[in-house]
Structure 1
Amino acid sequence: MDTGVEGRKASRVGVRVSAVSKTIKGNRVLDGVSASFPLARVSGIRGHNGSGKTMLLRAIAGLISIDEGSIEVFGEKLDARGDFPVGIGFMVEPLELWDEFTGLEMLTLLSSLRGRPRENHLRSALTRMGLDPDDLRRIKSFSLGMKQRLNLAQGLMDAPRLLLLDEPTNALDEDGQEAIRQVLIEERDRGTTIIVVSHDREELDRIADVQFIMGDGRIREV
């Protein structure tokens, strides 16, 4: 993603991961991971299945606890127990969707669980992802692509400062992928710090300002 002269200058840090390790059932899924993800930029993380990239995203989102190290989000240290930080939008697969809900009902429930239900934000998020907020069809009738768009909409619905996306273009056609790229540009320009996990190098080349590679629970910038 071309950010011009300003984008090539050193950016402040939005998320800092320092010597983070995590072992699950005897498997060290994160092995001393250290990385700095710049503020108001799109950072891409790629790697093969099992490389640790999704687990790192979950750790940053506070969805799992870490065994060692620390994570700072906008200068605030994340509780090592895995408490969910305020101001984060995330799309981490798989998201459980209630089949009998409409798209708007689903977002309303999720937002109410976070204590921040704002219908105008929910409607805007759906519209940006190409979904009709007034569509009365139940989620069980949605295509895989529509479910992916809904998953992405829930990540956007609270105007997050940090947006974490796990394989956001999966199950989307070219129009859907282009819609995601446009949303990422808009969010970055709004000042959102974005971290995208993908196995697709070509896609990350299109959308990321900086890139990292993960393998065997370790990370390096490229």
Structure 2
Amino acid sequence: MNKLICIEHATKCFKDKVVFNDVNIEIFKGDCVGITGYNGCGKSVLMKCICGFSKLTQGEVKINGKKIGKDIDFIENAGVIIESPEFINDLSGYKNLKIIAEIQKKIDEDRILRIMSLVGLKNEENKKVRKYSLGMKQKLRIAQAIMEYPEILILDEPTNGLDKQSVENIRKILKSFLSKGGTILLASHNKGDIETLCNTVYEYNNSDCKFIKI
């Protein structure tokens, strides 16, 4: 099996506070791995460490065999939603995505428009982001994460702020991504997301500050 993400003996501390301790997780191609736990337990921090946005206190993260912080600085070929990305409020949703797409030049304008339609933003492409609702902004984040054909999705609460119909649509999109060989690491308080999408789940254990496979 193709191991995409390997987290070994990962520990993260902020001064004297242990956020998580000696975490070991393996994620293989095609997996959807869920992370659950109460607010503030360290799910987002773990995801930031996996992506290279924050450094571990101890341990290591490898992506396709490459060590974060040594072989590569940040996760490669991944779509990421962790907390709230800063969109430019005075530009349209489409123009925000176009600016991001121009960095790697992997996709064209038609791809951006198709993805916006797919996530439920058809006919909203030219509206300024400042006029987007909370749910529309979340759809824009999802569009950003999936539009450049990523190998891996790192998703922190991807269905936050979405109505029931939109949640079902996003789950359908993620199932399609998995069916094509994609891999997902998902943190969610939505039990339905975890039960519908994940084949493996790790839950935060407060007694020893670890994410334990359940």
2:31 is equivalent to residue 35 of structure 1: no
CA contact (8 A) 2:171 2:197 kept: yes
**How many Å apart are 1:85 and its aligned residue?**
2.2
TM-score when scaled to structure 2? 0.91
**How many Å apart are 1:80 and its aligned residue?**
5.4
**Structure 2 CA distance for partners of 1:80 and 1:22, relative to 1, 3 Å:** farther
Distance in 1 separating the partners of 2:140 and 2:62: 28
Given the alignment, which residue of 159, 162, 167 partners 2:157? 167
CA contact (8 A) 1:22 1:29 kept: yes
**Structure 2 CA distance for partners of 1:96 and 1:39, relative to 1, 3 Å:** same
Superposition map of 1:102-117 within 5 A: 102-114=92-104, 116=106
Higher mean alpha-carbon deviation, 112-121 vs 27-36, is at 112-121
Distance in 1 separating the partners of 2:70 and 2:40: 23
**How many Å apart are 1:114 and its aligned residue?**
4.4
Instruction: Supply the AA of the counterpart residue of 2:57.
Output: D
Structure 1 unaligned residues grouped into runs of 5+: 1-10
Structure 2 unaligned residues grouped into runs of 5+: none
Superposition map of 1:47-196 within 5 A: 47-79=37-69, 83-114=73-104, 116=106, 118-132=108-122, 135-196=125-186
Instruction: Supply the AA of the counterpart residue of 1:33.
Output: V
Q: Deviations along 1:94-127, whole A, 9 cap, x unmatched?
A: 2112111111111112223445453233223212
**Structure 2 CA distance for partners of 1:102 and 1:175, relative to 1, 3 Å:** same
**Structure 2 CA distance for partners of 1:120 and 1:27, relative to 1, 3 Å:** farther
CA contact (8 A) 1:51 1:215 kept: no
CA contact (8 A) 1:52 1:218 kept: no
Higher RCO (CA-CA < 8 Å; seq separation 6+): 1
CA contact (8 A) 1:21 1:66 kept: yes
Provide the residue aligned with 2:213 in structure 1.
221
Percent of paired sites with the same residue: 26
CA RMSD of aligned residues (A): 2.0
Provide the residue aligned with 1:198 in structure 2.
188
- Aligned-partner SS, 2:170: helix
- Aligned-partner SS, 1:93: coil
Distance in 1 separating the partners of 2:3 and 2:123: 35
TM-score when scaled to structure 1? 0.87
Distance in 2 separating the partners of 1:140 and 1:153: 17
Distance in 1 separating the partners of 2:156 and 2:104: 21
Distance in 1 separating the partners of 2:112 and 2:17: 39
Q: Deviations along 1:59-87, whole A, 9 cap, x unmatched?
A: 11111122211111122222259822220
Distance in 2 separating the partners of 1:203 and 1:134: 26
Instruction: Supply the AA of the counterpart residue of 1:154.
Output: Q
